[in-house]
């Protein structure tokens, strides 16, 4: 069994070059955008100019008469389909029906011989709208006279994966509410030696995968086949099965390489629309969104948080209370889960005896929000980690020492009912602090801080896999985990090669084809290495057990007489490798053994979360007081990953996540003016570039083999994002003495805060 | 409209429309899908190819403009014997990509840099590459890969 701490690894825990390296550097890696099917047509989407309006009429006759147009699909052409989807609640029509709920919502799709013709025909569709009053913030959505976005009662989506009831569809604009509570918060605040309290705003952001959403669908008598840039093909399959009223076996989702996801390609996006286009056009259809359209498809939930935190006279945190309003936009998507997670994530990774967190997400007439790397954690870590620093300053403690004194301890059940904490925050914080030179002299205008994150990660444990050992001793892993760039095509073969004792180069991966690869619930929440990695390890071990029985059969001995060795078996003087075992068993140099694994919420995965994702970041920044511009002098990431199956990949995930977090801390923000998203393009949405690189970067891993995954591994790749905005805000306070409770800390915001300080 | 240009060292001939971009012609007519299209407004660098050695954004560069010129794409860097260009190898060795969508454009821009300045400093790399966006890596390993490739190419040119 893999539970004991093993250290003499041959293949895992080594930075083996990426399996997809050669195809990705030569331009041969295939993405959905590169795919063309015979007879394929192209779709383009007409989008609503209004945030909230009744659709009075749609005249598509001129567009349908345009040369080269196969058909035009609207919300009124969907008879025979169940057009509403959503894995939490089925509130989302694949094209607007009766009304539009945000500016940019798909209203019609043209299917034509090529993209240009489809695009031309969009102008020929005549839609008459009757504008309705719209709401854009949670506050507006809660007002007495607020218009209701959704009048229907929703059918619950079957694949929820969270514990609470969905609030949506009950006659208000509340999409979801969640609360966690223990201890006596009121009493604790009364008894407190010091309290900090404040209002914080975390902005809407866009994950900005370089590959915008793209899908190719072929709907015919055989069923529905879709090639998509989706992270979770099995989740998308579920929505399509319900839309087309088909058995699971007739819906096939195939995901080749994905050009970046970061949560934004979680769950169903454009697949229902492109499938409906294929269904109407009776041919394969491709829908490739532009970046601007992708930015009208998903964003992160922005969050308005009031929070207060209290300490006793010994510097021990005794209470935290928060009220959060999240803006989930026009449709629920995955936001009910984001609400649940962000509620939980207000607490960790600190052991706090009195807690009350109340959180609601509201429907508004804006782009639908959903998953984004870290699942609601960054939204609440800005207030959470800001208040840790604010409190430390208030009671005159070093913020790093203050964190150490209050952080959850290894093995501590700091969140009642959840898995005991499986990270080592002291070591994480020590490593981060040392990396940025904690305690050494600082130049004027510079600030240095550390922050941490500990989030209930790993999503839900439902994962299966097949590991096929072939007669030549090579191996194929059948996995439903999607290669988004995180490295699953490298890490999973490392695990199988280690377990089976075969060469890494002999292990191949087939991934994310729901007709072929066994069920895996999702590729998100940092779960793949832990859950799919465990499944691959178990399936490899199960294949070994089968081959031991086969070896006994071919050698005509008892199973007990067979001893496993690296890459094969031994019985007395006779040694056989896997290739020999299989070939002798079948009597031909052919055939295979299939090892299987079914992981569910049971055994070591009975407790949730699957693991606590822990990480620390450290930054040193400098502030130009003339302009308010922040410069990143140093950045350190520390991933508490149990065991890095591939250390270079694990560090790369941390740096990528921290860079996204830095972007939010410094300049990333989607901005609405009235009903319109005004910076929904790369020209206006500021992303981190080469020139934003911190001057000095250090990447560290803490590897105590304390994870529940293979060889003591656990997930990483989100947590380094979560603490970055707070870290930057804290560092600015330490550098120039202004406390900014809103991200991003743009030069203007910093400059205005500095001017405000002068006036005081 | 008939166009001729040199593509990765070989003559290419296409029949295209005046409005076709070089990226459309490469991807849709010549089946060279390595050149990726992302922002379509010449900002992200994903579609970078070299025309007469200079980096251009194929997403907005009209195919017509390439007539009679020499176009190099990511598919043109690997040697016929399968040996990778030092930049390609360095991107693998330094883990300088994750999803890989920006990688062809990133490598082509880096090639233009090293062709022009074989020994760039860190600041010069950052300045030159600022028009190429990567959302996965945080750029550090890309800078390292370009430095590593520069070293390898310097050695190769001596021998």
| B71/chain A closest Cα distance in angstroms | 15
How many beta carbons lie within 10 A of that of residue B18, not counting itself?
8
Question: Is residue B83 scored above 90 in pLDDT?
Answer: yes
Give the residue from A271, A227, A261, A243 showing the smallest Cα distance to A106.
A271
Distance between CA A612 and CA A608 in Å, rounded? 9
Q: How confident is the model at residue A168 (pLDDT cuts 50, 70, 90)?
A: confident
User: With the CA atoms of A433, A439, A443 and A448 taken in that order, what torsion angle do they form, in degrees rounded to the nearest 10?
Assistant: 30
Contact (Cβ atoms closer than 8 angstroms) between residue A209 and residue B100: no
Question: Which residues does A399 contact at the CB level (< 8 Å), separation at least 6?
Answer: A388, A389, A392, A393, A449, A450, A730
Q: Tell me the residue length of chain B.
A: 159
Question: What is residue A632's predicted lDDT score, i.e. its pLDDT?
Answer: 98
Question: What is residue A1's predicted lDDT score, i.e. its pLDDT?
Answer: 38
Inform me whether the C-beta atom of residue B72 falls under 8 Å from chain A C-beta atoms: no
**The CATH number of domain A21-30+460-605, selected from 3.40.50.410, 3.40.50.1820, 3.30.365.10, 3.20.20.80:** 3.30.365.10
Contact B33 A27 (CB under 8 A): yes
Reading the block at residue A423, the tokens are 């990270």
**For A321-469, where are the alpha helices, taking DSSP H only?**
335-344, 377-394, 399-406, 425-435
User: With the CA atoms of B96, B117, B8 and B69 taken in that order, what torsion angle do they form, in degrees rounded to the nearest 10?
Assistant: 140
Contacts of B31 in chain A (CB under 8 A): none
Contacts of A687 in chain B (CB under 8 A): 133, 135
Q: What is the mean pLDDT of residues A1-21?
A: 85
Question: Is residue A89 scored above 60 in pLDDT?
Answer: yes
Reading the block at residue A649, the tokens are 């990949």
Question: What is residue B61's predicted lDDT score, i.e. its pLDDT?
Answer: 98
User: With the CA atoms of A421, A711, A7 and A496 taken in that order, what torsion angle do they form, in degrees rounded to the nearest 10?
Assistant: -160
Contact A29 B100 (CB under 8 A): yes
Which residues 366-395 on chain A approach chain B with CB closer than 8 angstroms?
none
Question: Is residue A132 scored above 70 in pLDDT?
Answer: yes
Question: What's the gap between Cα A656 and its chain centre?
Answer: 13
Reading the block at residue A545, the tokens are 């057990």
Inform me whether the C-beta atom of residue B33 falls under 8 Å from chain A C-beta atoms: yes
Distance between CA A530 and CA A609 in Å, rounded? 12
Q: pLDDT tens digits for A222-270?
A: 999 999 999 999 999 999 999 999 999 999 999 999 999 999 999 999 9
A630-640 and A696-702 strand pairing: parallel
Of B19, B88, B138, the CB nearest to A26: B88
Which residues 594-653 on chain A approach chain B with CB closer than 8 angstroms?
648-649, 652-653
Q: How confident is the model at residue A642 (pLDDT cuts 50, 70, 90)?
A: very high
Contacts of B127 in chain A (CB under 8 A): 690-691
Q: pLDDT tens digits for A446-491?
A: 999 999 999 999 989 999 999 999 999 999 999 999 999 999 999 9
| A691/chain B closest Cα distance in angstroms | 6
Contact B135 A210 (CB under 8 A): yes
Give the residue from A491, A440, A473 showing the smallest Cα distance to A567.
A473
Q: How confident is the model at residue A102 (pLDDT cuts 50, 70, 90)?
A: very high
For all residues of chain A together, what is the average pLDDT?
96
Inform me whether the C-beta atom of residue A671 falls under 8 Å from chain B C-beta atoms: no
Q: How confident is the model at residue A160 (pLDDT cuts 50, 70, 90)?
A: low
Cis check: omega of the bond before B121, within 30 degrees of 0: no
Cis check: omega of the bond before A744, within 30 degrees of 0: yes
* Least confident range of A82-96, A648-662, B61-75: A82-96
Of B95, B106, B143, B148, which to mutate for an interface test with A (greatest number of A Cβ within 10 Å)?
B95
Question: Is residue A159 scored above 80 in pLDDT?
Answer: no
Instruction: Indicate the angle between helix axes A335-344 and A377-394, nearest 10 degrees.
Output: 20
**Class at the top of the CATH hierarchy for domain B86-158:** mainly alpha
| B139/chain A closest Cα distance in angstroms | 6
First to last CA, chain A: 65
Reading the block at residue A371, the tokens are 């998953």
Percent of chain A with pLDDT over 70: 98
Distance between CA A645 and CA A491 in Å, rounded? 6
Contact A258 B99 (CB under 8 A): yes
Contact B99 A658 (CB under 8 A): no
Reading the block at residue A348, the tokens are 């960790």
Q: How far is CA A62 from CA A51, A71, A113, A127, A569, in A?
A: 26, 11, 16, 12, 72
| B99/chain A closest Cα distance in angstroms | 4
Q: What is the mean pLDDT of residues A558-580?
A: 97
| DSSP structure class, residue A37 | -
Distance between CA B87 and CA B152 in Å, rounded? 9
Contact A655 B140 (CB under 8 A): yes
Domains of chain A by residue range:
21-30+460-605, 397-458+609-759
Reading the block at residue B20, the tokens are 């076709």
Distance between CA A437 and CA A443 in Å, rounded? 12
How many beta carbons lie within 10 A of that of residue B35, not counting itself?
24
Which residues 84-113 on chain A approach chain B with CB closer than 8 angstroms?
none
Angle at A166 between CA A161 and CA A171, to 5 degrees: 160
**The CATH number of domain A397-458+609-759, selected from 3.90.1170.50, 3.30.9.10, 3.30.465.10, 3.30.365.10:** 3.30.365.10
Contact (Cβ atoms closer than 8 angstroms) between residue A34 and residue A665: no
Of A120, A681, A690, which to mutate for an interface test with B (greatest number of B Cβ within 10 Å)?
A690
Question: What is residue A155's predicted lDDT score, i.e. its pLDDT?
Answer: 73
Percent of chain B with pLDDT over 90: 98
Question: What is residue A366's predicted lDDT score, i.e. its pLDDT?
Answer: 98
Domains of chain B by residue range:
2-76, 86-158
Q: How confident is the model at residue A2 (pLDDT cuts 50, 70, 90)?
A: very low
Contacts of B8 in chain A (CB under 8 A): none
| B109/chain A closest Cα distance in angstroms | 13
Of A18, A23, A26, A692, which to mutate for an interface test with B (greatest number of B Cβ within 10 Å)?
A26
Question: What is residue A5's predicted lDDT score, i.e. its pLDDT?
Answer: 76
| DSSP structure class, residue A518 | P
**Closest residue in chain A to residue B26, using alpha carbons only:** A34
Question: Is residue A117 scored above 70 in pLDDT?
Answer: yes
| Residue in the block written with tokens 């832990």 | A530
| A656/chain B closest Cα distance in angstroms | 5
Inform me whether the C-beta atom of residue A687 falls under 8 Å from chain B C-beta atoms: yes
Distance between CA A43 and CA A113 in Å, rounded? 9
Q: pLDDT tens digits for A356-398?
A: 999 999 999 999 999 999 999 999 999 999 999 999 999 999 9
Contact B91 A20 (CB under 8 A): no
Burial zone of A384 (CB within 10 Å; 0-12 exposed, 13-18 middle, 19+ buried): buried
Of A21, A210, A659, the CB nearest to B92: A21
Task: Give me the interface pTM, i.e. the ipTM.
Answer: 0.98
Inform me whether the C-beta atom of residue A20 falls under 8 Å from chain B C-beta atoms: yes
User: With the CA atoms of A481, A482, A485 and A487 taken in that order, what torsion angle do they form, in degrees rounded to the nearest 10?
Assistant: 20
Distance between CA A65 and CA A42 in Å, rounded? 16
| Residue in the block written with tokens 């001995």 | A557
Reading the block at residue A485, the tokens are 């760039």
Distance between CA A671 and CA A295 in Å, rounded? 12
Of B33, B78, B139, the CB nearest to A693: B139
Q: How far is CA A435 from CA A349, A616, A652, A700, in A?
A: 21, 11, 17, 9
Contacts of A691 in chain B (CB under 8 A): 126-127, 130
Give the residue from A266, A282, A457 showing the smallest Cα distance to A368.
A266
Contacts of B104 in chain A (CB under 8 A): 27
Question: Is residue A41 scored above 70 in pLDDT?
Answer: yes
Which residues 135-154 on chain B approach chain A with CB closer than 8 angstroms?
135-143
First to last CA, chain B: 45
Reading the block at residue A37, the tokens are 């099917």
Mapped onto helix, strand or coil, the DSSP state of residue B57 is strand
Distance between CA A36 and CA A601 in Å, rounded? 40
Inform me whether the C-beta atom of residue A189 falls under 8 Å from chain B C-beta atoms: no
Question: Which residues does A556 contact at the CB level (< 8 Å), separation at least 6?
Answer: none
Q: How confident is the model at residue A6 (pLDDT cuts 50, 70, 90)?
A: confident
Reading the block at residue A385, the tokens are 């980690």
Distance between CA A693 and CA B132 in Å, rounded? 13
Contacts of A258 in chain B (CB under 8 A): 99
Question: Is residue A99 scored above 90 in pLDDT?
Answer: yes
| DSSP structure class, residue A645 | S
**For A208-316, where are the alpha helices, taking DSSP H only?**
233-244, 271-281, 291-294
Contact A652 B95 (CB under 8 A): yes
CATH classification code of B2-76: 3.10.20.30
Distance between CA B144 and CA B140 in Å, rounded? 6
């Amino acid at each position: 069994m893999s539970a004991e701490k093993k250290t003499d690894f041959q293949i895992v825990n080594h930075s083996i070059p990426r399996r997809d390296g050669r195809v990705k550097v030569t331009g041969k890696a295939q993405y959905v955008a590169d795919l063309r099917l015979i007879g394929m047509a192209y779709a383009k989407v007409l989008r609503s100019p209004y945030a909230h309006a009744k659709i009075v009429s749609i005249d598509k006759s001129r567009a349908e008469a345009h040369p080269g147009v196969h058909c035009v699909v609207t919300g009124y052409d969907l008879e025979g389909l169940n057009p509403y989807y959503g894995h939490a609640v089925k509130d989302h029509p694949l094209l607007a029906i009766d009304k539009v709920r945000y500016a940019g919502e798909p209203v019609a799709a043209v299917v034509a011989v090529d993209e240009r013709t489809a695009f031309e025909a969009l102008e020929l569709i005549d839609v008459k709208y009757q504008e309705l009053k719209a709401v854009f913030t949670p506050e507006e959505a809660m007002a007495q006279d607020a218009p209701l976005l959704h009048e229907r009662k929703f059918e619950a989506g079957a694949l929820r994966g969270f514990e609470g009831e969905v609030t949506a569809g009950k006659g208000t604009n509340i999409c979801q509410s969640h609360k966690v509570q223990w201890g006596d918060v009121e009493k604790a605040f009364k008894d407190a030696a010091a309290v900090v309290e404040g209002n914080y705003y975390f902005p809407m952001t866009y994950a900005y995968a370089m590959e915008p959403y793209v899908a190719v669908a072929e709907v015919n008598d055989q069923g529905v086949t879709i090639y998509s840039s989706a992270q979770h093909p099995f989740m998308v399959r579920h929505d399509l099965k319900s839309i087309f009223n088909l058995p699971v076996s007739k819906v096939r989702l195939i995901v080749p390489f994905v050009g970046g996801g970061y949560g934004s390609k979680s769950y169903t996006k454009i697949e229902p629309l492109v499938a409906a286009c294929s269904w109407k056009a009776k041919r394969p259809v491709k829908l490739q969104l532009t970046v601007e359209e992708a930015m009208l498809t998903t964003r992160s939930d922005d969050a308005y948080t009031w929070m207060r935190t209290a300490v006793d006279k010994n510097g021990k945190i005794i209470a935290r209370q928060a009220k959060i309003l999240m803006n989930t936009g026009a449709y629920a998507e995955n936001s009910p889960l984001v609400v649940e997670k962000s509620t939980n994530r207000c607490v960790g990774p600190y052991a706090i005896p009195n807690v009350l967190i109340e959180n609601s997400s509201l429907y508004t007439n804006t782009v639908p929000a959903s998953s984004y790397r870290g699942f609601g954690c960054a939204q609440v870590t800005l207030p959470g980690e800001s208040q840790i620093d604010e409190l430390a300053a208030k009671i005159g403690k070093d913020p790093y020492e203050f964190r150490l004194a209050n952080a959850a301890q290894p093995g501590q059940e700091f969140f009642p009912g959840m898995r005991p904490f499986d990270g080592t925050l002291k070591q994480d914080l020590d490593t981060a602090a040392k990396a940025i030179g904690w305690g050494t002299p600082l130049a004027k205008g510079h600030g240095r801080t550390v922050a941490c994150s500990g989030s209930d990660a790993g999503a839900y444990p439902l994962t299966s896999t097949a590991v096929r050992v072939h007669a030549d001793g090579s191996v194929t892993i059948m996995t439903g985990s999607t290669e988004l760039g995180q490295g699953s095509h490298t890490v999973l073969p490392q695990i199988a090669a280690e377990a089976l004792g075969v060469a890494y180069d002999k292990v191949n991966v087939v991934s994310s084809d729901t007709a072929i690869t066994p069920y895996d619930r999702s590729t998100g929440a940092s779960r793949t290495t832990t859950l799919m990695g465990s499944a691959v390890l178990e399936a490899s071990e199960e294949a070994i057990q089968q081959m031991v029985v086969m070896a006994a059969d071919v050698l005509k001995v008892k199973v007990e007489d067979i001893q496993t060795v690296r890459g094969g078996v031994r019985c007395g003087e006779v040694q056989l490798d896997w290739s020999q075992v299989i070939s002798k068993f079948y009597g031909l140099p052919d055939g295979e053994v299939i090892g299987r694994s079914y992981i569910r919420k049971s055994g070591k995965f009975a407790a949730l979360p699957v693991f606590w994702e822990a990480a620390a970041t450290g930054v040193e920044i400098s502030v130009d007081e003339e302009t308010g511009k922040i410069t990143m002098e140093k950045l350190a990431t520390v991933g508490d990953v149990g065991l890095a199956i591939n250390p270079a990949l694990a560090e790369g995930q941390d740096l990528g996540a921290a860079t996204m977090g830095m972007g939010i801390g410094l300049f990333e923000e989607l901005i609405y003016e009235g009903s319109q998203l005004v910076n929904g393009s790369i020209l206006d949405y500021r992303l981190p570039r080469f020139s934003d690189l911190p001057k000095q970067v250090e990447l560290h891993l803490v590897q105590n083999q304390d994870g529940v995954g293979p060889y003591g591994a656990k997930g990483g790749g989100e947590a380094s994002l979560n603490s970055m905005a707070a870290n930057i805000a804290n560092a600015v306070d330490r550098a120039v003495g202004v406390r900014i409770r809103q991200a991003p800390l743009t030069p203007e915001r910093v400059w205005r805060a500095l001017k405000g300080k002068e006036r005081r | 409209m008939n166009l001729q240009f040199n593509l990765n060292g070989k003559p290419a001939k296409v029949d295209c429309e005046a409005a076709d971009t070089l990226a459309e012609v490469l991807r849709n007519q010549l089946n060279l899908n390595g050149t990726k299209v992302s922002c379509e407004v010449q900002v992200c660098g994903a579609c970078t190819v070299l025309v007469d050695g200079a980096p251009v954004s194929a997403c907005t560069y009209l195919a017509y403009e390439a007539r009679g010129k020499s176009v190099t794409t990511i598919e043109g860097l690997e040697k016929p014997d399968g040996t990778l260009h030092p930049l390609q190898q360095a991107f693998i060795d330094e883990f300088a990509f994750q999803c890989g969508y920006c990688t062809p454009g990133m490598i082509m821009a880096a090639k233009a840099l090293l062709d022009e300045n074989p020994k760039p400093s860190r600041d010069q790399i950052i300045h030159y590459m600022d028009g190429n966006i990567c959302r996965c890596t945080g750029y550090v390993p890309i800078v390292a890969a370009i430095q590593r490739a520069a070293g390898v190419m310097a050695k190769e040119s001596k021998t």
